[in-house]
Amino acid sequence: GGGGGGGGGTAMRILGGVISAISEAAAQYNPEPPPPRTHYSNIEANESEEVRQFRRLFAQLAGDDMEVSATELMNILNKVVTRHPDLKTDGFGIDTCRSMVAVMDSDTTGKLGFQEFKYLWNNIKKWQA
């Protein structure tokens, strides 16, 4: 027995903020249908380098279905956090990530698509600021 290591306080605080922000946003949130495939090249042309890298990272981690489960989300967030020492968190646990997926999952697949994930990430960054 015994509960696993401590920590997680910062992540939970951030998550609390993220979830309340997202819940408010979700209350007024009407997801747009995904644009047709041809439209993506235009979007990508206007994307910043950061977003392009982010999309590549997402594609690698999400695999063919281009969606991430809670476990994949946890791996992604913890990878990203280690690359951004300015982010004030000691990492994300699986329960935290399950909560985030549940809140963000507008199409109720149990996974996050790229737009859902990007929206979540932008919220996390805001809460870190």
| Res 70: pLDDT | 92
* 71 band by pLDDT with thresholds 50, 70 and 90: very high
Residue 23: is it exposed, middle or buried by C-beta count within 10 angstroms (0-12/13-18/19+)?
exposed
Q: Where are the domains of the chain?
A: 49-129
pLDDT at 38: 53
Query: What DSSP state is assigned to residue 112?
Result: B
Mean of pLDDT over the chain: 74
108: pLDDT confidence band, cut at 50, 70 and 90?
confident
Residue pair 11/89 in contact (Cβ under 8 Å)? The answer is yes
Q: 63: Cβ–Cβ under 8 A, 6 or more apart, which residues? A: none
39 pLDDT exceeds 60?
no
Mean pLDDT of 97-124: 84
- CATH placement of domain 49-129: 1.10.238.10
